[in-house]
């Protein structure tokens, strides 16, 4: 039996158990969309290709599967580049299928031709240009394998139009992966034995967990490890939810807008156990003042992330899960516990830091954004999936929505992409229709991909958008206030749409609160409606995110309040 290239593509997707893609059609992918019409795979028709890649990213983070998006050639492909770079920075497994002009036209500046494999080479884990239909099935299988294995990341497959129309005998299709064998088992036993010795000698140990724990699905092992040792833990922005924020061992998020007590613990610990972190500059700030008294034990699946910024005393290039499993087994088998006298003073000191500078804010006659997030947490009992845009809204969400569950916080960590949160929330809602999904947004960032309201309404997705509307590009304004003499150069964006009317124009529900006493009722109403909802909260215009570490300062040198 003969199959077209488009049919081969869908046979390959089915072998990878793909049931949902996020796409937008165009000339170069018409044959693919025509075949999609006959298939049971669900396509979520977005309104912009950037929305497609962000939705696939959000879907991947929440579902644990590889996200898939499908776009046409030229501008369709280039519109995904920001989302691809975002997934690359945050190690999210997505496969991006792009259309391309016919192979005979490549390099001739044909209509809607662009070298998307060249453009995305720096921000994909790997990419492919399909030149023969014989290779298509194998390439798709390889793309999924690469995307999900090792340190995950985005893979792009560029498929020329003539390849999708070509015919091939089904017996001639190659499905065999042609990849180097990098699956050699590396022994971690010797390194884990040394790690246990380091832990045994520590008097002020601290765990810092990152996104690698979530990507490696090692949250149960992490929780067991912390409880067995009775040690404090802090989690980076990308690691939120791997350890319950309600647990007394948890110190909150470290870094530029981290808690005082997390940063002081890092600055005074004598052993830093780093699990699945890459020591981003927003976490470390001034490198030579980061964990200055500590030996560093670093576990990460990517050898390139080890000793890149923070020099280690012991490193283990491995997924976090097997390392934690082995350490937990040994700790239990040997009935190993941290001597109470050894850790008592350390835990008491941390408690003093917590009492000295708790994470707080001052109420006023205007709506405080922290209060909105705090109230949202209480009303959802911490069980919602929260996405964010980027800026102040992102930091307030990280600080005041206390994440107890893994994969419940999805945000653009490495690239800091405005416009990410809403389409990512759509992807999350598609992956988990049983969950409440909320995008915490700013009035600036929500406008970056506001057109995806049509997508959410079209598919009856009850995504909630909580806009912290302060009339500014809030984080830009805060920096201008602190470091540029309050010269608010082009950060004032008072001329914004009426978000309630805008929601209604798209067929969604629009709600607004302008006074503190309206916050809870507005949130209750929005959460109770089984529709797409925008909730527009007019918050204190010049409220800042604190604590804050000034650029280049040590993380122990914090501005606690304005």
**Does residue 182 fall inside a structural domain?**
no
3-state SS record for 165-193: HCEEEHHHCCCCCCCCCCCCCCCCHHHHH
468-519 pLDDT, tens digit each: 999 999 999 999 999 999 999 999 998 899 999 999 999 999 999 999 999 9
231-270 pLDDT, tens digit each: 999 999 999 999 999 999 999 999 999 999 999 999 999 9
pLDDT, position 339: 74
Do 212 and 253 sit in the same domain of this protein? yes
User: Of 356, 385, 402, which residue sits at a domain end?
Assistant: 356
On the 0-12 / 13-18 / 19+ scale of CB atoms within 10 A, 512 is middle
Q: CA-CA distance, 13 to 22, in Å (whole number)?
A: 13
Do 352 and 383 sit in the same domain of this protein? no
pLDDT, position 335: 77
Do 302 and 196 sit in the same domain of this protein? yes
DSSP 252: -
**Does residue 461 fall inside a structural domain?**
yes
Do 142 and 35 sit in the same domain of this protein? yes
Kindly state the helix (H) or strand (E) to which residue 228 belongs, with its residue range. helix 219-229
- Residue 161 among the catalytic residues: yes
Full DSSP string of 67-83 = EEEEE-STHHHHTTHHH
Whether 181 shows a pLDDT value over 80: the answer reads no
Do 416 and 509 sit in the same domain of this protein? yes
**Does residue 553 fall inside a structural domain?**
no
77-119 pLDDT, tens digit each: 999 999 999 999 999 999 999 999 999 999 999 999 999 999 9
Do 127 and 233 sit in the same domain of this protein? no
User: Of 356, 384, 407, which residue sits at a domain end?
Assistant: 356
Q: Could you say which of 14, 15, 111, 562 is catalytic?
A: 111
Q: Could you say which of 89, 100, 128, 161 is catalytic?
A: 161
**Does residue 558 fall inside a structural domain?**
no
Do 148 and 24 sit in the same domain of this protein? yes
Whether 183 shows a pLDDT value over 70: the answer reads no
pLDDT band at 342 (very low <50, low <70, confident <90, very high): confident
**Does residue 501 fall inside a structural domain?**
yes
Q: Where are the beta strands (DSSP E) in 462-549?
A: 464-469, 509-513, 533-538, 548-549
CATH number at residue 227: 3.40.50.1220
**Does residue 180 fall inside a structural domain?**
no
Do 346 and 383 sit in the same domain of this protein? no
Do 529 and 421 sit in the same domain of this protein? yes
Q: Could you say which of 395, 475, 535, 548 is catalytic?
A: 475
Q: Could you say which of 35, 49, 389, 452 is catalytic?
A: 49
pLDDT, position 341: 75
Do 324 and 403 sit in the same domain of this protein? no
Do 335 and 453 sit in the same domain of this protein? no
Q: Could you say which of 11, 112, 295, 435 is catalytic?
A: 112
pLDDT band at 182 (very low <50, low <70, confident <90, very high): low
**Does residue 551 fall inside a structural domain?**
no
Number of domains in the chain: 3
543-554 pLDDT, tens digit each: 999 999 998 999
pLDDT, position 338: 75
**556: phi then psi, degrees, rounded to nearest 5:** -80, -10
Least confident among 168-182, 290-304, 466-480 = 168-182
- Residue 125 among the catalytic residues: no
By residue range, what is the domain housing residue 438? Answer: 369-546
192-207 pLDDT, tens digit each: 999 999 999 999 999 9
Do 536 and 407 sit in the same domain of this protein? yes
DSSP 107: T
**Does residue 331 fall inside a structural domain?**
yes
CATH number at residue 422: 3.40.50.970
pTM, to two decimals: 0.96
């Amino acid at each position: 039996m003969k199959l077209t290239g488009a049919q081969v593509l869908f046979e390959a997707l089915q072998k990878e158990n793909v049931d949902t893609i996020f796409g937008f059609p165009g000339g170069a992918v018409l044959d693919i969309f025509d075949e999609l019409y006959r298939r049971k795979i669900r396509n979520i028709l977005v309104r912009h290709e950037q929305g497609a890649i962000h939705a696939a990213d959000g879907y991947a983070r929440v579902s644990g599967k590889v996200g898939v998006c499908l776009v046409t050639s030229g501008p369709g492909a280039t519109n995904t580049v920001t989302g691809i770079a975002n997934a690359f920075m945050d190690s999210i497994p997505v496969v991006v299928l792009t259309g391309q002009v016919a192979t005979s036209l490549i390099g001739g500046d044909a209509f809607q031709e662009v070298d998307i494999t060249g453009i995305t080479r720096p921000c994909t884990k790997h990419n492919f240009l399909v030149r023969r239909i014989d290779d298509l099935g194998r390439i798709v299988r390889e793309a999924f394998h690469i995307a999900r294995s090792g340190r995950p990341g985005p893979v792009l497959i560029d498929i020329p139009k003539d390849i999708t129309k070509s015919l091939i005998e089904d017996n001639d299709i190659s499905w065999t992966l042609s990849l180097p064998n990098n699956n050699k088992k590396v022994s971690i036993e010797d390194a884990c034995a040394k790690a246990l010795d380091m832990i045994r000698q520590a008097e002020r140990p601290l765990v810092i967990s990152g996104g690698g724990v979530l990507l490696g699905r090692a949250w149960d092992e992490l929780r067991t490890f912390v409880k067995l040792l009775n040690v404090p833990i802090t989690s980076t922005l990308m690691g939120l939810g791997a350890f319950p924020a309600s647990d007394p061992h948890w110190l909150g998020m470290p870094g530029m807008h981290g808690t005082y007590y997390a940063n002081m613990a890092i600055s005074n610990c004598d052993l830093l156990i780093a699990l699945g972190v890459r020591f981003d500059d927003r976490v470390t700030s001034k490198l030579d003042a980061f964990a200055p008294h500590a030996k560093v034990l670093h576990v990460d699946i990517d050898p390139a992330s080890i000793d890149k910024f923070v020099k280690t005393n012991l490193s283990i290039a491995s997924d976090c899960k097997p390392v934690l499993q082995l350490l937990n087994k040994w700790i239990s088998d040997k009935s190993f516990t941290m001597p109470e006298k050894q850790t008592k003073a350390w835990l008491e000191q941390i408690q003093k830091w917590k009492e000295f500078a708790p994470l707080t804010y001052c109420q006023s006659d205007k709506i405080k954004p922290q209060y909105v997030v705090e109230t949202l947490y209480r009303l959802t009992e911490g069980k919602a999936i929260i996405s964010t845009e980027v800026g102040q809204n992102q930091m307030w969400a990280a600080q005041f929505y206390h994440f107890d569950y893994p994969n419940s916080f999805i945000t653009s960590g490495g690239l800091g992409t405005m416009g990410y949160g809403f389409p990512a929330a759509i992807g999350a809602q598609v992956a988990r229709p049983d969950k409440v999904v909320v995008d915490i947004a700013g009035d600036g960032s929500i406008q970056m991909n506001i057109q995806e309201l049509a997508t959410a309404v079209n598919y009856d997705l009850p995504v909630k958008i909580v806009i912290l509307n302060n009339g500014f590009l809030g984080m830009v304004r805060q920096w201008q206030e602190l470091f540029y003499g309050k010269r608010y150069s082009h950060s004032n964006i008072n001329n914004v749409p009426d978000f309630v009317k805008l929601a209604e124009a798209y067929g969604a529900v629009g709600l607004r609160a302008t006074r503190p006493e309206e916050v809870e009722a507005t949130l209750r109403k929005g959460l109770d409606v089984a529709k797409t909802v925008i909730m527009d909260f007019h918050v204190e215009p010049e409220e800042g995110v604190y604590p804050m570490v000034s650029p280049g300062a040590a993380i122990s040198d914090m501005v606690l309040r304005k």
